[in-house]
Structure 1
Amino acid sequence: MGYPKDLLSSRSIIKHGLYALIAPEGLVNNVIPGFENCTMSILGSPQLGATFVDYIVTMHEGGKNTQGYCGQADVECFVYVLSGKVKAKADDQEFILGESGYLFCPPGVTMYLENMEAGDSRLFLYKQKHKPLEGKKPWVVSGHSNDIEYRDYDDMSNVHIKDLLPMDLDFDMNFHILSFDPAASHPFIETHYQQHGAYLLSGEGMYNLDNEWIPVKKGDYIFMGPYVHQAAYAVGREPLTYVYSKDCNRDPEL
């Protein structure tokens, strides 16, 4: 990037264990073994206070992970295609994922990724340790969010949600897409046990994090820790939309 053209500044805000807003212009690259010809940045992680790890991945022409990702007996992973097209495999199952495509791999299933574009493909990648439940076992899930109909969120006709994974006790987490029409908001400021990692797909808004109203926009990443106040208003001329993870379906451990 060369020498700066102005004073060094950042919109990013880091409150370890509570919340974080990470703006794209401040991201640095990380070397992740197994990913070839890829630019990767680690977003949420245990060092931030999350129980999961989120990445932004840019797969350049020929980018791939031939040795596989995750696959451990107690780790599950998920990938969402932000742009471009990739070939994704879950062990011996193969999927072609365009923009809005996704793949969930349960514990013990290895994910393989390969860029199918002449240019770049961009991915939102996630992993966490699975919390088992007796008699329950998650399975491989793939699809495209653009093929899923929105439903009203909390009976609000200007806020919409999609569920990307089954609402089933076999799964200890889910991914959703939440979209606010311009001027729409959450029905109340939420305070809850669950934590989130969210990547903003479109729009602009004001996000309440720990009772601080913070401007956010497309390309930002937000980590929301347990019990941190959270709510959003959409501003501007297009919907504020983001894809996010949520831990669910498990009793807190003592």
Structure 2
Amino acid sequence: MTDKPKPARNYFVPKGGLPPQSQLVTDRAMFTEAFAVIPRGVLSDIVTSALPFWDKARFWVLARPLSGFAETFSQYIVELGAGGGSDRPETDPNAEGAIFAVEGAVEITLEGATHSLTEGGFAYIPAGAKWTIRATKGAVFHWIRKRYIAVEGLPAPDAFFTQEHDIAPSEMPDTNGGWATTRFMDPTDLRHDMHITIVTLQPGAVIPFDETHVMEHGLYVLQGKGVYHLNQRWVEVEAGDFMWLRAFCPQACYAGGPEPFRYLLYKDVNRHAALP
């Protein structure tokens, strides 16, 4: 018996640069009281950031806590040159992190052990962990950060490393495989206060109702295109676009063709709502 071939998976990677002077100014960028859309064309050289203790690195900041909007997480696309990285990547001892590699390879050394992440590789790094990261030949990855919410009597989650190809997608009920979720965190493990998943919708598949829930979302489109219904507005999105959804923002979508519509999804989970 031979193993089934693994399906081809594409991961969009921004390349920066600057649009020509002849390009029209109007684009799909949108910031509302309930959601934001950052199209891939916005990710130019002049909107990158630098961070302390990183070298040969630049950061596209897609989300950060904003009072009165989404408040639980930050999300970056990190581009490393050859030999780039950091020996002190995280300066907040209360921040947990998730890294998803989309181009090249990085080596993460965590508590004395070194792990290699190639395209489709995922790492969960607990708050307070001592780690370093390097790219021998250059790399691009997503970095999601969240202040970990500890619960008395519940231990903190352990670090882990995995690869998208090695996780069987969970098909949503009654969708005949048209809508599936690849879950990096075990949804039954309540130590985790965030979930990172990859949602895959086959061409023509649909999320058929306006989800309206307490979780905040960050959605980065890895592949394909779709049409999202966000707070009573229809928005077209494609590979390389990012959506930032406030808690309770109604959301539904259709997947366009001809390839699967796939996105990297963040949401906060498993904790009581904070009371002032």
TM range (shorter): over 0.9
1:124 to 142, 151, 171: 142
Shift of residue 115 of structure 1?
0.8
Deviation larger for 86-95 or 220-229: 86-95
Say whether residues 1:248 and 2:269 are aligned partners. Answer: yes
Q: Distance in 1 between matches of 2:159 and 2:253?
A: 32
Corresponding residue number in structure 2 for 1:21: 37
Q: Equivalent of 2:229, from 205, 208, 215?
A: 208
The count of residues paired between Structure 1 and Structure 2 equals 250
Q: Is the contact between residue 208 and residue 253 of structure 2 (CA under 8 Å) also seen in structure 1? A: no
TM-score (norm 1): 0.93
1:104 is matched with which residue? Answer: 124
C-alpha displacement of 1:3: 5.0
Q: TM-score, normalised by structure 2?
A: 0.86
Structure-2 residue corresponding to 1:177: 198
How far the C-alpha of 1:143 sits from its partner, in A, is 0.5
Identity across the alignment (%) = 27
Q: As a proportion of its length, which structure holds more strand?
A: 1
Q: 8 Å contact 1:81–1:99 — kept in the other structure? A: yes
Change in Cα spacing, 1:211 to 1:114, as seen in structure 2 (3 Å) is: same
Q: Which runs of 5+ in 1 are unaligned?
A: none
CA contact (8 A) 1:160 1:180 kept: yes
| Alignment partners' CA distance in 2, 1:2 and 1:232 | 29
- Are 2:107 and 1:87 aligned? yes
Aligned match of 1:62: 83
The 3 A distance-change label for structure 1 pair 2 and 14 is closer
Distance 1:155 1:147 in 2: 24
Deviations 1:158-210 (CA, angstroms, capped at 9, x unpaired): 11111101220111111111000000011321000001111111000001111
- SS of equivalent residue, structure 2 residue 86: strand
In structure 2, list runs of 5 or more residues that go unmatched. Answer: 1-17
2:183 is equivalent to residue 163 of structure 1: yes
> Partner of 1:4 in structure 2?
21
Which secondary structure does the structure 1 equivalent of 2:23 belong to?
coil
C-alpha RMSD over aligned residues: 1.5
Q: Which amino acid aligns with 2:96?
A: E
